[in-house]
Amino acid sequence: MTNPAYDAPLSGRPLSRRDEVLRSTVRLARLIFSAPASSVFLHDAAGEALVLEAISEAREDSLVGWTIPDYSGIAGWVFQSGEAVIADDLDNHSQFNRDFAASTGRIPKAIIAAPLDTGGSVFGVLEVLDPVLGPRGTTAGLELVSELARQCAAALALAGPLPGPAGRHAAAAERLTTLVADLASTDDPNAARTLASLEEIASALSSRRG
């Protein structure tokens, strides 16, 4: 079943290192919390949306690729606020996107979620539906889901460019590092002048931050 209010998924793509990290994360989260489902949304800045990139539940392959606005639902609230949350009364929770939940075929009673971020920039959200917190309680549950989100973010950073500003900054830094190395390895006077200019810019930026 699909919902015309949301984008349909694309299936059949080969698994990348990023896909493996995402799938491992949602399956681990589902096992740890004895939950029926867990998912990871990554931010699409161009579309101002959160894209469901991985899900661990019976219909996982048919749901990957669905999107919601980046301000919508519990995931949208976590993305915008950058804070982990446990929402355990969804029937009365103003942020809960019941329409999207219904379109996936599962309406949870509770959600625990944490942001994926690097360098202070949030680029996604890890969610666990109907988690069993047991004796560890709310505080420990939040700490655990937050740690899972941190580990996922770190693994994604190693797997390839991240979405959003964090990924663009990392890619730009990598290109700049390569450029500086190339400039430093040549005797061309123009390269030396360019390198000196870059050093002046770096010094000025460092002084401004200080």
pLDDT digits (tens, 9 = 90+) for 138-188: 899 999 999 999 999 999 988 766 555 444 444 444 555 666 676 677 777
How many Å apart are CA 107 and CA 156, to the nearest integer?
29
| Structure confidence by residue, pLDDT tens digits, 75-122 | 999 999 999 999 988 988 888 989 988 888 889 999 999 999 988 889
DSSP classification of residue 134? G
Distance CA 18, CA 33 (A): 23
Does this model's pTM top 0.75? My answer is no
- Between CA 192 and CA 188 the distance in angstroms is 6
Per DSSP bridges, beta strands 37-44 and 121-129 are antiparallel
